[in-house]
């Protein structure tokens, strides 16, 4: 496509707002070597994102799909599932939720340009604007970021802004792929993005959300069970009512319920930051959860949470960080992309490389991590 400036895109996009138009476009996209994708959505007062626009860049052109008007997503789902066409997105975690919610499919094979840029040595966590500036020496305005993407009709400025997100991506992808092929890191990119898709596809079971609480280690067995069940119940309520988790109970409230194990409405009401409306609506449910958890045998209690690293383990972590930084510097990539802090902590706790670590990281930095356990 090779845009010299943003003005070149003024009317160079197709707006699709009927099932027939989308079906015809999907047939065209099936012949593309790759497809660039992006979404615009609203997620202020809901659990699930509400899609406002889907952008597709392929064959040197741009299309804007109106998800409010479209009712048949079968052909688009077929495109997302076509294993022969790479789907290129930038910083795609929330976009994946949109596709999953909208048509029950995830774009695969996926290539996230933010991850690829990091592996190419272009910078860590680059925004789309910075990626365009670095790779194409072009400036992208982000003036429509906070737009109301559910309004109809969309303004010309909104459409122009949205189309740019996939227009430049069509130019960036070949450059980025070539660079990673030259460095021998294309398989790294592919593996990282496969892991992203696998994680998005598996999701987090409701009974595992309590594990996100970093103070879990402070609770005893019964308290952990209460936290597990309260968080699972909150997750189900949030999904069923399509409201943010915090509208049911915020994380600190869930923790305090588990810690105090209230047995009456009066005790529950004394928990800090528990809104009176939530108390009235959900109080009986929570008290039932607490009571039933307290009646459970200890065999039902979840295992203890991970404690913060000890002083000795913190020394190991410091040694690991130094080793990872040296390795990352030699590769010209960000240390945080090579190995995350939580992965280093898991190595320290397990005394081995974690199963969740990608194969290329085990090969590149695995020995450095294990040697740090001995050399601290």
Q: What mean pLDDT, rounded, does the chain reach? A: 94
Secondary structure letter of residue 35 according to DSSP = E
Percent of the chain with pLDDT over 90: 94
- Quote the tokens at residue 140: 């992208």
Task: Tell me the average pLDDT across 364-370.
Answer: 96
Residue 333 pLDDT grade (very low, low, confident, very high; cuts 50, 70, 90): very high
Residue 142 pLDDT grade (very low, low, confident, very high; cuts 50, 70, 90): confident
Task: Tell me the average pLDDT across 98-120.
Answer: 97
pLDDT tens, 3-40? 444 445 545 899 999 999 999 999 999 999 999 999 99
Predicted local distance difference test score (pLDDT) of residue 374:
81
pLDDT(208) > 90: yes
Residue 81 pLDDT grade (very low, low, confident, very high; cuts 50, 70, 90): very high
In order of their start, the domains of the chain are 6-202 (3.30.420.10), 206-300 (1.10.150.80), 311-375 (1.10.150.80)
Q: Is 28 helix (H, G, I), strand (E, B) or coil?
A: helix
Give the separation between CA 341 and CA 7, rounded to whole angstroms.
43
Predicted local distance difference test score (pLDDT) of residue 375:
58
- Quote the tokens at residue 17: 């707002």
pLDDT(143) > 80: no
Give the separation between CA 23 and CA 104, rounded to whole angstroms.
17
Phi, then psi, of 181 in degrees rounded to 5: -65, -40
User: ∠ CA 140-172-110 to the nearest 5 degrees?
Assistant: 110
Output the 3-class SS for 230-256. Answer: HHHHHHHHHHHHCCCHHHHCCHHHHHH
Cα radius of gyration (the chain): 24
Task: Tell me the average pLDDT across 91-106.
Answer: 97
Predicted local distance difference test score (pLDDT) of residue 5:
45
Name the region of 123 (left: φ>0; alpha: ψ -120 to 50; beta: rest): left
- Quote the tokens at residue 42: 């609203």
Predicted local distance difference test score (pLDDT) of residue 6:
44
Q: Is 333 helix (H, G, I), strand (E, B) or coil?
A: coil
Predicted local distance difference test score (pLDDT) of residue 1:
46
Give the separation between CA 27 and CA 16, rounded to whole angstroms.
14
Cα 12 off chain centre by: 30
Q: For 226-259, b where at least 16 C-beta lie within 10 A, e where not — what string? A: bbbbbbbbbbebbeeeeeebebbbbbebbbbbbb
pLDDT tens, 290-301? 999 999 999 999
Provide the β-strand partners of residue 294.
Answer: none
- Quote the tokens at residue 222: 């019964």
- Quote the tokens at residue 188: 């790294």
Residue 356 pLDDT grade (very low, low, confident, very high; cuts 50, 70, 90): very high
Residue 144 pLDDT grade (very low, low, confident, very high; cuts 50, 70, 90): confident
Give the separation between CA 87 and CA 115, rounded to whole angstroms.
14
Predicted local distance difference test score (pLDDT) of residue 376:
53
Task: Tell me the average pLDDT across 42-70.
Answer: 97
Task: Tell me the average pLDDT across 320-334.
Answer: 97
pLDDT(319) > 70: yes
């Amino acid at each position: 496509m090779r845009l010299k400036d943003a003005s070149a895109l003024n009317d160079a996009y197709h707006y699709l707002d009927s099932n027939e138009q989308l079906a015809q476009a999907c047939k065209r996209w099936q012949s593309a070597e790759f497809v660039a994708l992006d979404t615009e959505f609203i997620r202020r007062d809901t659990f699930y994102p509400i899609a406002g626009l889907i952008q597709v860049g392929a064959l040197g052109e741009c299309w804007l799909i109106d998800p409010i008007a479209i009712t048949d997503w079968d052909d688009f789902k077929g495109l997302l599932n076509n294993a022969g066409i790479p789907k290129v997105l930038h910083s795609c975690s929330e976009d994946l939720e949109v596709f999953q919610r909208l048509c029950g499919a995830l774009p695969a094979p996926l290539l996230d340009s933010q991850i690829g840029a990091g592996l190419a040595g272009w910078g860590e966590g680059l925004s789309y604007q910075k990626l365009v500036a670095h790779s194409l020496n072009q400036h992208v305005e982000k003036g429509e970021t906070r737009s109301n993407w559910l309004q109809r009709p969309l303004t010309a400025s909104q459409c122009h802004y949205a189309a740019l997100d996939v227009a430049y991506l069509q130019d960036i992808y070949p450059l980025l792929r070539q660079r990673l092929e030259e460095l021998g890191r294309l398989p790294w990119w592919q593996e990282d993005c496969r892991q992203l898709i696998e994680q998005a596809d598996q999701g987090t079971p409701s009974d595992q959300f309590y594990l996100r609480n970093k103070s879990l280690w402070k609770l005893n067995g019964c308290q952990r069970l209460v936290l597990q069940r309260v968080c699972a119940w909150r997750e189900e309520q949030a999904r069923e009512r399509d409201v943010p988790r915090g509208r049911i109970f915020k994380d600190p409230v869930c923790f305090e319920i588990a810690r105090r194990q209230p047995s009456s409405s009066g005790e529950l009401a004394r928990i800090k930051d528990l809104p009176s409306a939530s108390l009235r609506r959900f109080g009986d449910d929570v008290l039932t959860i607490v009571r039933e958890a307290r009646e459970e045998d200890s065999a039902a209690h979840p295992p203890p949470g991970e404690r913060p690293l000890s002083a000795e383990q913190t020394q190991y972590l410091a040694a690991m960080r130094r080793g990872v930084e040296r390795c990352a510097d030699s590769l010209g990539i960000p240390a945080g992309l090579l190995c995350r802090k939580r992965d280093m902590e898991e190595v320290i706790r397990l005394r081995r490389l974690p199963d969740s670590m990608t194969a290329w990281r085990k090969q590149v930095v695995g020995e450095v991590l294990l040697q740090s356990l001995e050399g601290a």
